[in-house]
Amino acid sequence: MKYLQDVDIREKTVFIRVDFNVPLDRNRNITDDTRIRAVLPTINHCLDEHARVILASHLGRPKGPDPNKSLEPVSRRLSRLIHKTVEFVPDCIGPEVQKIKQKMQPGDVLLLENLRFYPGEEKNDQDFARQLMEGVDVYINDAFAVGHRAHASVHAVTLFAPICAAGFLLRDEILYFHKSMEDPARPLVAIIGGAKISSKLTALINLLKHVDKLIIGGAMANTFIKAMGYQVGKSLVDDSLLDEAKELMSTALQKGVKFYLPVDVIVADSLDNRAENRVTTIQEVPADWIIADIGPASITLFNEALQDARTVVWNGPMGAFEIEAFSRGTLAMVHNVANSFALTIVGGGDTDVAIHKAGEVNKFSYISTGGGAFLELLEGKKLPGILALEEWHKKHQSA
């Protein structure tokens, strides 16, 4: 596929699909601008080349136009970050937008209104995509977080843009994923935790084809502990997946993948900071209690398994870490992965929060910006957004 650095964008009109889906408080103040800062390298590069820069994104899941889901607050924050006026247009297609696009000068930056105000965006509508691409010379996709969605601004647009390429953020996501899963330095260790085994089962099955060790923690582990025949009390567990869990463990054994589960856990009588809690082995979880975190022996065990790792891929916290009493397992994992001598790649919204909480952001090789998209990569899927760029490239290579 083509990347931004391979494309001549000098004084061209460049349409960049970004992910500005930032959290807003009830006064519509941006509470975290990480997603905006993540695409600054791409925007700055385009400005260095005196391109006319058009930015487009979704925000939230509006059903039609919704002032609470406007991208207008983002234009102000972005202005501050790039020290430059960012003109905001309260629409993303139509004659008004077209007029403004035509008047743009090299170095101008335009932010369009929420793409999802039009149903055509999520429907991957070709006519909507064609209108987005009107007057555009170069289309850049830098929105990894929506790469798993075949939406108009990531998919259908590639049929209408004269040139299509991946921005720096999308490039990094692809390269780091390649380094961790397709061509890793070994041993490759995957750590999977979090709450819902059902949404991550496909990823676990695919991981068995790639990894040398698989570490399971969080509520995810409960289903496996139960599948081994132990009781898990009132813990979060997926009873419909006990057979799959058993099968997965035997596949791991067959393939020679070292499979790690917690050996001890923190149990509590409720998921509350003031709840009574204690450490117990997985063999002795009391009937009325809840497994809320991995225990100290598991922290040591998992850390030992990480000692010789040269690549670590991590998704999902080790416990209900939002509650301080049950955060120790996850925070210890953050420190242990951060301090390992490995290429460390992390994905997942909650895992990201845990890393920030522990203050170790800078010690990770790469933190993915896309939870759902990252998970689909772990599942071994090809993302529609990336495929569209590859197909464009294939079609135009000969030309």
Of positions 371, 381, 387, 391, contacts ligand ADP by CB under 6 A: 371
How far is residue 370 from each of residues 11, 18, 38, 126, 146, measured CA to CA in Å? 31, 12, 12, 25, 7
Q: Which candidate in 349, 357, 371, 380 is catalytic?
A: 349
Give the sign of the dihedral formed by CA 90, CA 76, CA 355, CA 258: positive
Q: Which residues pair with 265 in a beta bridge?
A: 280, 294
Interface segment toward ligand ADP; rule CB under 6 A; list 51-59, 67-75, 132-140, 343-351: 343-351
194 binds ligand ADP (CB under 6 A): yes
Residue among 118, 154, 123 at smallest CA distance from 15: 154
Measured distance CA(388)–CA(385) in Å, rounded: 5
Q: Which long-range contacts (CB under 8 A, 24 or more apart) does 44-50 make?
A: 44/82, 45/4, 45/5, 45/168, 46/4, 46/9, 46/14, 46/16, 46/140, 47/82, 47/84, 47/107, 47/109, 49/9, 49/10, 49/11, 50/10, 50/11, 50/106, 50/107
Please, are residues 325 and 305 in contact by the beta-carbon 8 Å criterion?
Answer: no
Q: Which candidate in 107, 372, 380, 381 is catalytic?
A: 372
Of positions 317, 370, 384, 385, contacts ligand ADP by CB under 6 A: 317
- Tokens 């929060």 belong to which residue? 353
Closest CB to ligand ADP among residues 190, 320: 320
Site string for ligand ADP, 223-262 (x = CB under 6 A): -------------x--------------------------
Of positions 59, 201, 219, 249, contacts ligand ADP by CB under 6 A: 219
147 binds ligand ADP (CB under 6 A): no
195 binds ligand ADP (CB under 6 A): yes
349 binds Mg ion (CB under 5 A): yes
Q: Which candidate in 35, 52, 149, 226 is catalytic?
A: 35
Q: How would you classify the pairing of strands 264-268 and 277-281?
A: antiparallel
Measured distance CA(21)–CA(116) in Å, rounded: 11
Q: Work out how close the CB of 346 gets to ligand ADP at its nearest, in angstroms, rounded to a whole number.
A: 8
Of positions 322, 360, 379, 390, contacts ligand ADP by CB under 6 A: 322
Interface segment toward ligand ADP; rule CB under 6 A; list 177-185, 237-245, 314-322, 384-392: 314-322
Of positions 38, 154, 216, 291, contacts ligand ADP by CB under 6 A: 291
Count the helix, strand and coil residues of the chain and give each as a percent rounded to the nearest 5: 45, 15, 40
Of positions 350, 352, 376, 386, contacts Mg ion by CB under 5 A: 350
Please, are residues 53 and 75 in contact by the beta-carbon 8 Å criterion?
Answer: no
Of positions 184, 319, 370, 385, contacts ligand ADP by CB under 6 A: 319
Residues written for the chain: 399
370 binds ligand ADP (CB under 6 A): no
Of positions 262, 316, 370, 385, contacts ligand ADP by CB under 6 A: 316
The verdict on whether 372 is a catalytic residue reads: yes
Q: Which does 164 bind (CB under 5 to 8 A by kind): Mg ion, ligand ADP, none?
A: none
The residue number whose beta carbon is nearest to Mg ion equals: 350
143 binds ligand ADP (CB under 6 A): no
Active site residues: 35, 196, 349, 372
